Structure 1
Amino acid sequence: MINWILFWSLSTLPLAVTLFFASQILNCRRHKKAAVGFFHPYTNDGGGGERVLWCAVKAIQEQNPDLHSVIFTGDHDASSQSLMSRATDRFGVHLIYPPKVVHLNKRKWIEETTYPHFTMIGQSLGSVYLAWEALTKFTPLYYFDTSGYAFTYPIVRLFGCKVICYTHYPTISLDMISRVRQRSSMYNNDALIARSTWLSRCKIIYYTVFSRMYGMVGSCAHLVMVNSSWTRSHIEKLWGIHERIKQVYPPCDTSGLQSLPLERSVETPKIISVAQFRPEKAHSLQLEAFSVAIKKLDADFPRPKLQFVGSCRNKSDEERLQNLKDKAVQLNIQDDVEFHKNVMYRDLVRLLAGAVAGIHSMLDEHFGISVVEYMAAGAIPIAHNSAGPRMDIVLDEDGLQTGFLAENIEEYADAILRIVKMPEPERLKVATAARRRASRFSEQRFYHDLKAAIRPVICHTSE
C-alpha cells in the first residue's frame, strides 16, 4: 500500500516531467544530512503547537546531540538566534543550541484564505508543494512534522527520510462527518450547507473521500505520536497503524506554575481565557456566558473580570479580536473585560497567578494545554464537556473535584457563578486537587515519553 502511494503520482505524469522530478529526488537522497528537520511553517503562532515544537527540539538535542536541528518555516524574519530566544521568552524552553533555519517561500499554498472552498483538500495538497520546497532545499535523515500536514508523508518517504509526526488533532474526524450528517451549523460547516439536504450529501461524499485519502497518507509515517485519548482513537481508526501510534501528552508548564500561591485576591475575581483568537475557540460563547453570569450575580458578591489572553496569527485573527471587543460593548460589559494580545510568557504567568478560574470553550479540543495550565496555576478550570478535557484532564483526583465541564451558555454561566460564590476553603480544596491532577502533564513527562517513543526510530550515532 505504501509503495503504491509513493509512486502512483509520479507514474501518471508525462515521462519528461517524471524524469525531472525523479532526478531531483535522487540527488536529494544522495545528499541527506545528519539532521532532524522540523516541518513547522508557522513559528510565531504562540499556541500549544509551538510549545510542542520547541520541547521536541530540546528533547532531540539532548538525546541525539550528533544530529542537527533544522526548522522549516515560512516566517522570513526568523533566524537561528531569534527562534532560540523566542523558545525561551515565550515558552520558557531553553534549547541547547540554536537550530538551523530553512525559509520557505510557498507558505501561501497552505493558508486557508487561498482556498475559499474545499479548504481541507486545498491546504493538504498545498502542503505537498511546500514540503517539496523544503526537502529540495535541505534533506534531513529524519522529517518531524509538528503541525499535522499528513499529506506530505508520502513525498517525504520518496526523499528517503524517516517520517515522525506529532499529531495534535486529525485533519478530519469521524465527528466532523457525523455533524454534517446531522446538518449542524458550525465554524467548519456553513449554515447554507447545513440547511440544504443536497449540499450536505455532497459534503458527506467529499468528507468521506478525503478521510480515506487522509488514512492512506497518514499510514506512511514511521512513528505517530498523538496528544490525547480522543486524538488516538480517531487516528487509529483513520490511519490503521496501531503499532506505530504512541500517546504522548503535550508539554505543560506545570512545575513553574505550581510554584504560584493558591491564595488569590477575591475583591475582583479574575477569570482568564488563554487561547489563540481562532474561530473554533468559541470566544463569543465565553463573552455571552460571562454576561449572563454578571446579570445573575447577587449584589453581595464581588463583580468578576474576564481576561482574554491570546495570539493573532494573521489579519483574520486580528478582525476576530476586534469583533470580540465590539461584542463586549454590545453586551455592556466592556469595563469588565480585558484583552491581552501576544503577551510574553512571564506576563502570562503573572495573569494566571491572579486568576481564580480559567475558561475554555472549544468543542472537541483535542487536548487542552491551557486547561492544564489553569489547573497547575491554581485557577479552577471551566472547560468544554468533550474530547481532551473530558477524557484526560478534568477528572476527579483522589475522589476530589478538579473543575467544571460545560456545553452551552447557561452551563458556563452557572459554573462561573459557582466559582465566584465559592467559599475560600472550598475553592482552595478544588484548586489543590486540580494542581495535583495537572502534574500528570508536566514537561518532564513529555520529555521522557517523547524520548522513549523516538528511540527505536532515531537510532543515528556519530561516526
Structure 2
Amino acid sequence: MSSTWWVLWPRILNILLIICTSVFLGRWLVGSVGSATGWYLKRRASTRKRAILRRVKVEEEAFQRFSERSQRPAEDDDWEQIESYGAASAKNGGQAEDEWEGIVGFFHPFCNAGGGGERVLWAAIRATQKRWPKAVCVVYTGDHDSTKPAILERVQNRFNIRLHPPTVVFIYLSTRHYVLSTTYPHFTLLGQSLGSLVLAYDAFSLLVPDIFIDTMGYAFTLALCKFFFPTIPTGAYVHYPTISTDMLGSLDAEQGMGLNAGSGKGLKGALKRKYWQRFASLYSWVGGNVDVVMTNSSWTLGHIRSLWGPSRKKRQKTFDIEVVFPPVAVEELERAIEISESSEAKREPALLYVAQFRPEKNHALILRAFSLMLERDKDHRNIKLVLAGSVRNSEDATRVYDLRLLAHELKVKDHVEFLCDAPWSEILQRLRKSWVGVNAMWNEHFGIGVVEYQAAGLLSVVNDSGGPKSDIVVDHSGGPTGFHASTESEFAEGFQQALTMSSQDTLAMRRRARASARRFTEEAFAKAWLTQMGRLIELQSSTGRL
C-alpha cells in the first residue's frame, strides 16, 4: 500500500469515525449523528454564507450600473423560448418556484479543464441563471491558479457561453489532490472515492448550499451530503459510471476494451475482479441516495439504471433516471460552416481528433491506424492528422510529448499536427476545413466532439462502443452518418473509406450527419436541464429554506 494512503487516512478519519460510530450504536442513531455533524458544518460556514450573499448583491448592483452606463444590449434574446418553457414546467406554475433565490452548489473540482464535462457545467449554470435570475450558482473547484474573471473568460472563449458574473461564485478547495488518479497507484477507484469524501467535507465546511449537484461523477459526495443534510436535495449529472459491467467484462478481453483489457488473468486478476465487484455493490448503494439523476447518453442510462435503480427504488425516490443529452454548439456550427457542393472545395484531406490528452482517449491507437493507412495507400501521403485538445496538467504535457515521440517512431511526424489548448475560434476553423472527424475512446460516455464533427459536416470514424455508437453515429434518413471501428486495422479502413467516397455520397453523408446532430442542441439541453432543476427546487421548497 502506498504512502499516499497513510496520508489520506487522517484527513478522512473524522468522517469514518462518525459513520462507524453511528452504525455501531445502532441504525436509528445514524440520522441523528449525521444531522448533528451537518448542523455543526452549517454553523461553521454561516458567516461565509452571509458574506457571499452580500458580495453577490454588491456585484449585482455594480454590474447593473455598468450595464446602464455602457448601454449594453439585452443578453441572449433567443432564451425567451427556453425561459417560458421552464416557467411552464414549474409545479403548478408556482410563484415561489419562479422567484426561487437559493444557493445551488455545483461540485466540479476541475471546472477549468475545458472539456465536454465542463461545457455541461457552464451550460447548466447559464440555463439556471436565465430561469432563476435570483439564484446563486456556487462552483466548488480546486483551480486555485485561476481567478473568477479568468475562468469566465475561458468559458466564453472555449465554449462561447457568456455567464452573468455576479451570481457565479467560486469556492476554492484545498484537497483536490485526493481525487487525482495519480495519487493512488493501487486501489484507484476506492482511493478516489474516499478522497472525494475529504473534498466534499472541505466544501461543506466552507459553504452549505440549498441544493447540491455533482456534475463530475463523484457520487460518494452526494451520499455524504444526505448523511449530513437529509433535507438538502441532491442531483447528479452522470457522464460515466465509475464502475460498470462492461469494465468487469473487459478483464477477460484481449484488446480494444479500454485500459484494463485482459488484466483479469491469474491471481492478481482474480483479486482485481473481486475488488471491482465489491466496489460495484458500494457504488450501487451510494447511487440510491440521489434525488434527481441525469445521464448524458442512453449507454450511461442503461448502466446507471442497472446499478442505482434497485437502491433508489428501495429508498422510494420519486423521479426516474433520465437522459439529458449534453449541449453542443450545433446551431453555431450550422451558421458558421456551409455544407454544399461549393464548400467541398474548401476542405482539406485532414483527419481531426478533438479530445483532451487523457490516456483513455487512446490517441496512440489513432496514430498507429493513421500510419497503417499511409502504408496501405501511398496516394494518401498528402493527408494530415490533427490532434487537438486541452492540456490540463504536467501529466497531460508528458503524454503529448510521448505521442510526438510515437509519431516520430512511426515515421508520420511530418503528417501530424498537435494543437494544444486552442481557443474555440481555432477549433471552428479546423472543423470547417477538415474532412474526417475521429474518436477512439472505448465506451466514450457520450462524445460531444463527435456531435461537433457531425454538425460541421465531417465524416466521422468512431469507436464501435458507448455513446458514439448508440446515440450519435447512427443511421438517419435511411443512410449512415459515419463509420465505426475498434482495431487499428478497422480505423485505417474507416479513414480510407471516408476519404475515397464519391463526391455525391460524401455530400449526402455530410448532410445526414448535420441533420442527425440537431438532436443535441444547446436549447434541447437547456429545456431538459430546467425540468430536472425544477424538480430539485420543488423538493427544496417543500422542506423550506435551510
Name the CA shift for 1:447/1:9 in 2 (closer, same or farther; >3 Å).
farther
- Residues 183-225 of structure 1, C-alpha deviation per residue, up to 9 Å, x if partnerless? 769654287x44x421111111100100000011111111010
Answering whether residue 347 of structure 2 is matched by residue 334 of structure 1, we say no
Work out the CA distance in 2 between the residues paired with 1:415 and 1:219.
Answer: 42
Work out the CA distance in 1 between the residues paired with 2:260 and 2:505.
Answer: 41
Name the CA shift for 1:68/1:267 in 2 (closer, same or farther; >3 Å).
closer
* TM-superposed deviation, 1:164: 0.8
Does structure 2 conserve the Cα–Cα contact (< 8 Å) formed by 1:110 and 1:122? Answer: yes
**3-state SS of 1:414 partner:** helix
Work out the CA distance in 2 between the residues paired with 1:206 and 1:53.
Answer: 32
* TM-superposed deviation, 1:44: 2.1
Answering whether residue 116 of structure 2 is matched by residue 48 of structure 1, we say yes
Name the CA shift for 1:393/1:158 in 2 (closer, same or farther; >3 Å).
same
Gaps of 5+ in 2: 1-15, 26-30, 51-101, 314-318
Q: Which residue does 2:338 correspond to in 1?
A: 261
Matches within 5 A, 1:28-39: 28-29=41-42, 31=46, 34-39=102-107
* TM-superposed deviation, 1:112: 1.0
Work out the CA distance in 1 between the residues paired with 2:203 and 2:459.
Answer: 43
Tell me whether 331-340 or 73-82 shows the greater mean CA deviation: 73-82
Work out the CA distance in 2 between the residues paired with 1:69 and 1:22.
Answer: 24
Which of 364, 372, 377 is the equivalent residue of 1:292? 372
Q: Which residue does 2:356 correspond to in 1?
A: 276
Under a length normalisation based on structure 2, what TM-score does the superposition of the two structures give? Answer: 0.78
Which of 218, 222, 228 is the equivalent residue of 2:287? 218
Q: Which residue does 1:96 correspond to in 2?
A: 164
Does structure 1 conserve the Cα–Cα contact (< 8 Å) formed by 2:37 and 2:228? Answer: no
Name the CA shift for 1:186/1:420 in 2 (closer, same or farther; >3 Å).
closer
Answering whether residue 404 of structure 2 is matched by residue 325 of structure 1, we say yes
Name the CA shift for 1:13/1:112 in 2 (closer, same or farther; >3 Å).
farther
Does structure 1 conserve the Cα–Cα contact (< 8 Å) formed by 2:112 and 2:151? Answer: no
Supply the RMSD in Å over aligned alpha carbons.
Answer: 2.6
Matches within 5 A, 1:27-426: 27-29=40-42, 31=46, 34-98=102-166, 99-160=168-229, 161-182=232-253, 188-189=259-260, 193-194=263-264, 196-240=265-309, 241=312, 243-259=319-335, 260-262=337-339, 263-265=343-345, 268-299=348-379, 303-426=382-505
Tell me whether 382-391 or 182-191 shows the greater mean CA deviation: 182-191
Structure with the bigger percentage of helix: 2
Q: How many aligned positions are there?
A: 454
* TM-superposed deviation, 1:84: 1.9
* TM-superposed deviation, 1:315: 1.7
Does structure 2 conserve the Cα–Cα contact (< 8 Å) formed by 1:380 and 1:431? Answer: yes
Does structure 2 conserve the Cα–Cα contact (< 8 Å) formed by 1:39 and 1:147? Answer: yes
**3-state SS of 2:250 partner:** helix
* TM-superposed deviation, 1:174: 0.6
Answering whether residue 48 of structure 2 is matched by residue 26 of structure 1, we say no
Aligned sequence identity (%): 36
* TM-superposed deviation, 1:384: 0.6
* TM-superposed deviation, 1:458: 1.5
Work out the CA distance in 2 between the residues paired with 1:302 and 1:293.
Answer: 10
Gaps of 5+ in 1: none
Work out the CA distance in 2 between the residues paired with 1:121 and 1:186.
Answer: 21
Work out the CA distance in 2 between the residues paired with 1:190 and 1:431.
Answer: 34
Letter in 1 for 2:329: D
